[in-house]
Amino acid sequence: MTNANAGGLEVAEAAPAPALTNKLPSRSILVLYGSETGNSQEIAEDLDRIAQRLRFESTVAEMNSVQLSALPQYSLVIFVISTTGQGDVPRNAALLWKKLLRRKLPPGCLGSVAFTTFGLGDTSYPRFNWAARKLVRRLEQLGAREDFPSGEADERHPDGLEGLYLRWSTKLQDYLSTTYPIPGGLEPIPEDVPLPPRFILRFASGDGASRPESDILTDLERKLPVTDGITVSLASNERITAPEHFQDVRLLKFDIPPPAEGAPKLELNPGDTITLYPRNTPEDAQAVIDFMGWSSVADAPIDWPRSVRPPNLYTDESFTLRHLLIHNLDITAVPRRSFLRSISHFASDPDQRERLLEFTRTEFLDEYYDYTTRPRRTILEILHEFSSVKLPAERALDTFPVIRGREFSIANGGDALRYPVIPGAQRVEIVAALVRYRTILRRERVGLCSRYIAGLAPGASIPVLHKKAITTYHGPGMDGRPLVGVATGTGVAPVRSLLWHRASASASTSPPPPAHLFFGFRSVESDFHFSADWPALPFLTVHTAQSRPVTPPGPPPDGERPRREYVQDLIRKESGLVADLVRRDAIFLICGGSHKMAQAVKDAVKDAIGGDEEERERVFEGLDWIQEIW
């Protein structure tokens, strides 16, 4: 729920008082989101703010949290939903989607529901924006009315998700103003007036001054109470790229303890992920405390029931502002427009306030990108540069984004998951490429999770979350078919997991069907991951492409230097083999960090299929094509 009464600490004198919204009961909007990475949630929260400024009674929530019977109670329901996996709905939308698919629902049961949707997708995937499109179809089948044209955003579009959303939301705002005019002489709440906070921190009375460093270090050892999480022990944290290679890639092995008596064993399968929860450094947290002038309350206890907290905020019942800044609030993220708008209200310098507001306006979108996204400017840096911003401490949770866990594909499978040293225990492996680079401003950047992983020592006990794969590509109906894996870099992890699963699944029966791995990397010497594994899998043929092959010293014996090669080149070279695997109903698993690679591989496979364009498309549509690109 979005709306809360103002309260807590004194608001800075430079900031205007929050608006009295005068929400009108006959004008209500429900904004529901389904999101895996947070983009849909951010857009949903922005739509909620738009609705509040138009003086609607507005609520924003995950799709799974709502009953179908609640939908007719609102003037308009807005669905914001991402497409994940192979045209699937996100996990936090799957429950509502399942309810909508119930056969016993009569065709006109949602006849009094007015709705619109905004879908987020990626055209490099075969099923672009399927989640939003099938949601619209099902709602209309049940009698709901699409009162405003639904919008779609493509992550590959030159204007990005943000630009496409802004154009759609501007039209939506005009529609709402015209269709639901504000009665009684009221006006929309101006952009330069802050809205009431959704979440307010309330500090216990008493001394909240800084604690000794020993207390802060003890606080760092407190484990994040992740809902449905498990505590694992780090067995090893090994660099698997050559020391001279520019990128540090880690293989992390975690030991999962045996289940409690009577509890089921954790079932780990190919495609599943392990989520890590990084944290900020105490030094960065202290910098925010100093910038904002929060020293007097930084260590005061905050008692707050979990029932009224934002999604994905994991804390104990009692915590402190410092604890939030270290463990929960993403102070090193590149800020979204909503963050800049929020802090603008608390800038005492008029020029700084106006500049922050400019970044949030549609006509200044390019300037927003130039200032934040392109140089990867962080929230911490912006607070330093806009020094007149003094955010009230009770608004910290309402303003800063929450740190989201980082998902990593399981890299092992089958018998390799067993850990015989401790009966019933399991060992799971993940591969992580640490992010370190220089921005266009020549500032060094280290990813939040990368810094966290680099600092993890063997023996560390950490909370993680296991998520089952949304798209299943293993099991009796799949394991007996040929496999074509195409992977670049660390994208080989889920393919490796599936290969070892197949090896174990067939160990007591017949040999597994043939598998082909088209694996792209820079050079054999630097990042040919898991090279020792592949000879141990007799059913596997590995085709390698080196994009930066190492040239031996001296003139080449044949007069030619090694040629750069990419996975799509291998597929074209082996087009006859690929065409035969298509005819044999092979499964295609495409994994890596490049959308261009995924498109190039798709084009190469279509060329291998042959025939005219219509025939190629028909055959390709019939493939089990599973794509995991990040």
Give tens-digit pLDDT for 323-367: 999 999 999 999 999 999 999 999 999 999 999 999 998 889 899
| Burial of 472 from C-beta contacts in 10 A (0-12 / 13-18 / 19+) | middle
Residue 192 labeled ligand binder: no
| pLDDT-based confidence at residue 205 (cuts at 50, 70, 90) | confident
Residue 109 labeled ligand binder: no
Residue 399 labeled ligand binder: no
β partners of residue 541? 516
Quick one: pLDDT at residue 127?
84
Residue 140 labeled ligand binder: no
Residue 447 labeled ligand binder: yes
Residue 125 labeled ligand binder: yes
Q: Is the pLDDT of residue 404 over 60?
A: yes
Residues 540 and 168: their CA atoms lie apart, in Å, by 48
DSSP β-ladder status, 318-320 and 301-303: antiparallel
State the average pLDDT over residues 102-129: 92
Residue 124 labeled ligand binder: yes
Residue 168 labeled ligand binder: no
Residue 613 labeled ligand binder: no
Residue 128 labeled ligand binder: yes
Residue 8 labeled ligand binder: no
Answer whether 503's CB lies under 8 Å from 481's CB: no
Residue 84 labeled ligand binder: yes
State the average pLDDT over residues 388-400: 96
DSSP-assigned letters across all residues of 179-195: HS---TT--PPPTTSPP
Residue 39 labeled ligand binder: yes
What is the token pair recorded at 114?
Answer: 């007015």
| pLDDT-based confidence at residue 208 (cuts at 50, 70, 90) | low
Residue 388 labeled ligand binder: no
Residues 411 and 173: their CA atoms lie apart, in Å, by 46
Residues 429 and 433: their CA atoms lie apart, in Å, by 14
Residues 195 and 46: their CA atoms lie apart, in Å, by 12
Residue 127 labeled ligand binder: yes
Residue 376 labeled ligand binder: yes
Residue 630 labeled ligand binder: yes
| pLDDT-based confidence at residue 23 (cuts at 50, 70, 90) | low
Residue 429 labeled ligand binder: no
Residue 233 labeled ligand binder: no
Residue 40 labeled ligand binder: yes
Residue 564 labeled ligand binder: yes
Residue 448 labeled ligand binder: yes
Residue 497 labeled ligand binder: no
Residues 1 and 31: their CA atoms lie apart, in Å, by 10
Residue 146 labeled ligand binder: no
Quick one: pLDDT at residue 69?
94
Quick one: pLDDT at residue 299?
94
Give me the helix-helix angle, 595-609 and 613-621, nearest 10°.
110
β partners of residue 347? 389
What rounded mean pLDDT belongs to the chain?
Answer: 90
Residue 350 labeled ligand binder: no
- For the ranges 101-110, 330-339, 490-499, 553-562, the lowest mean pLDDT is seen at 553-562
For 27, the enclosing helix (H) or strand (E) is strand 24-34
Give tens-digit pLDDT for 229-258: 999 999 999 999 999 999 999 999 999 999
DSSP β-ladder status, 273-276 and 461-467: antiparallel
Quick one: pLDDT at residue 75?
96
Q: Is the pLDDT of residue 527 over 70?
A: yes
Residue 368 labeled ligand binder: no
Residue 35 labeled ligand binder: yes
Residue 129 labeled ligand binder: yes
| pLDDT-based confidence at residue 10 (cuts at 50, 70, 90) | very low
Q: Is the pLDDT of residue 9 over 80?
A: no
Answer whether 89's CB lies under 8 Å from 130's CB: no
Hey, what domains does the chain have and what are their CATH numbers? 24-179 (3.40.50.360), 476-629 (3.40.50.80)
